[in-house]
Copies of this chain bind each other. A is one copy, B any other.
Amino acid sequence: MKIDKNHISDHNNGHLDKHRQEFEFLEKRLRDTDHPASKILDNLSKLQIAIPSWALGSGGTRFGRFPIGGQPRNLEEKMADIGLLHQLSQMASRISLHIPWDIPEDVEKIKATADEYGLAFDAMNSNTFQDQPGQAHSYKHGSLSHTDPAVRRQAINHNKEVIDYGVQLGSKSMTVWLADGSNHPGQSNLSKALKRTGESLAEIYAHMPADWSLFIEYKPFEPYFYSTVIPDWGTSYLLASDTGDRAYSLVDLGHHLPNTNIEQIVATLISRGKLGGFHFNDSKFADDDITVGSIKPYQLFLIFMEITQGMAANPHGNPDIAYMIDASHNLKDPLADLLESLESIGLTYIKAALVDYESLEQAREENDISRCSAILQDAYQTDVRPILREFRRRQGGAIDPVAFYREQNVREELVKERGSDSSASGL
């Protein structure tokens, strides 16, 4: 489903007077700072968030799923959905593919479709946490870390195949989320499993073209409940360091133990040049995978502060971070929820850009804590919505994407087009 540009213009015109007043008021206020609206608007266009191909359908839990109608039935329809998100938000020009859920059967056609929607291919994702029909060996007891070399071989080959698909599509990176782990104390020789994993990753790395990067994700638990082979950033960092210069850690917001200071992990990894990827979602309890910023928006602000400052200093050449939304849409319409997520990311990014880092550094040097707090609050309390709206307006997006999506009855249209019992490949 393609949105007629005129509809967007109509929507924007309806909001224009109010928006203009608000934007001008804020623009004036920021004019004489070192972060004027113009600069932020420039930077915003560099903030592009990948949407994974498996996020367009309804998610669920082990207790079940309540599917929505109009889910995309194939890769082309998924790309259409992401195209729509990008058209409205101007922040979602990248797609992250999962193999085998979204094998590009006809590469040229897929590339043409991507061009049509203005999309590029972000990191590729492999899957060794499920068994596929006809698969020779089961991943029940692991994949890259398995005790049996034949299973490891199968898993390595699958990863290589995923890279090959990515090369054809123009992707430049590979994300390995290794679910391997154990449910029962004593079940696994933890050191050997880690060693075998390192060896497997080395083979995958060697298969990548020289301009590719490898992102190594970590997660403390689920789907395994006693140990995972890569439970924390430290283990991911060890593996990335062992594997090679273009191997990096990937931080997913939901993959941490209670109370973890995630922003500090981000700071440390960037300071070592090892933060490759970042997955957005939010959680109150575990890997809840709900809308980013819906539970701990201030934590997200603190993370963006570390990214902003860290990438400005960047002592070890950390590459541009590959951002992706990795949430599960169990109750909300996936497209509406993704638009909400993009809104949340955009607003928080802007708030982090409003921080007066120079004064902050000075206050830190002087251990003037009250002043540090005041500087953060001054940025965080600001209502930055006018800037994000202005960004979208200028780029041809919608001033209020969620409202537009609802006004246009997009979901109803998709149900008509795809049926109410369509089902998306994925979880």
Q: Which residues of A contact B (CB under 8 A)?
A: 25, 59-64, 66, 129-131, 138-141, 147, 179, 183-191, 194-195, 220-223, 225-227, 231-235, 237-238, 257-261, 263-264, 267-268, 270-272, 283-286, 288-291, 294-298, 302, 305-306, 309-310, 313, 328, 330-333, 336-337, 340, 343, 347, 360-361, 364-367, 369-370, 372-377, 380-385, 402-403, 406, 427
Q: Among A138, A140, A306, find the residue whose CB has the most chain B CB atoms closer than 10 A.
A: A140
Partner of A184, one of B191, B294, B360: B294
Q: Tell me, in angstroms, the Cα distance from A296 to B298 when the chains sit together.
A: 7
Q: Tell me, in angstroms, the Cα distance from A64 to B130 when the chains sit together.
A: 6
Contacts A194-B268, A260-B257, A306-B190; A291 near B221 (Cβ below 8 A): no
- The residue in chain B whose Cβ has the minimal distance to the Cβ of A370 is B336
* A288: chain B residues within 8 A (beta carbon): 183, 221, 225
A184 touches B290 (CB 8 A): yes
* A221: chain B residues within 8 A (beta carbon): 259, 284-286, 288
8 residue pairs from A and B, CB less than 8 Å apart: A66-B139, A184-B294, A185-B294, A185-B298, A191-B270, A194-B271, A222-B286, A370-B406
A259 touches B258 (CB 8 A): yes
Q: Tell me, in angstroms, the Cα distance from A263 to B289 when the chains sit together.
A: 21
A185 touches B302 (CB 8 A): yes
A222 touches B285 (CB 8 A): yes
Contacts A183-B290, A330-B183, A369-B184; A66 near B231 (Cβ below 8 A): no
Q: Tell me, in angstroms, the Cα distance from A231 to B259 when the chains sit together.
A: 12
* A147: chain B residues within 8 A (beta carbon): 364-367
Q: Among A233, A305, A377, A406, find the residue whose CB has the most chain B CB atoms closer than 10 A.
A: A377
- The residue in chain B whose Cβ has the minimal distance to the Cβ of A360 is B186
Contacts A64-B223, A191-B313, A376-B186; A285 near B298 (Cβ below 8 A): no
Distance of A126 from chain B, by nearest CB (Å): 14
* A376: chain B residues within 8 A (beta carbon): 185-186
Contacts A191-B271, A227-B261, A383-B383; A373 near B186 (Cβ below 8 A): yes
B305 touches A186 (CB 8 A): yes
Distance of A240 from chain B, by nearest CB (Å): 12
B295 touches A185 (CB 8 A): yes
* A237: chain B residues within 8 A (beta carbon): 234, 238
Partner of A331, one of B141, B194, B259: B141
Q: Tell me, in angstroms, the Cα distance from A270 to B402 when the chains sit together.
A: 34
A290 touches B191 (CB 8 A): no
- The residue in chain B whose Cβ has the minimal distance to the Cβ of A288 is B225
Which 4 residue pairs are nearest across A and B when measured between Cβ atoms?
Answer: A234-B234, A225-B288, A66-B140, A383-B383
Contacts A191-B270, A258-B258, A381-B385; A225 near B360 (Cβ below 8 A): no
Contacts A284-B225, A285-B221; A370 near B337 (Cβ below 8 A): yes
- The residue in chain B whose Cβ has the minimal distance to the Cβ of A343 is B377
B130 touches A375 (CB 8 A): no
Contacts A25-B25, A259-B257, A370-B333; A347 near B284 (Cβ below 8 A): no
A364 touches B188 (CB 8 A): yes
Contacts A61-B223, A257-B259, A257-B260; A186 near B234 (Cβ below 8 A): no
Distance of A163 from chain B, by nearest CB (Å): 22
Q: Tell me, in angstroms, the Cα distance from A222 to B328 when the chains sit together.
A: 13
* A61: chain B residues within 8 A (beta carbon): 62, 222-223
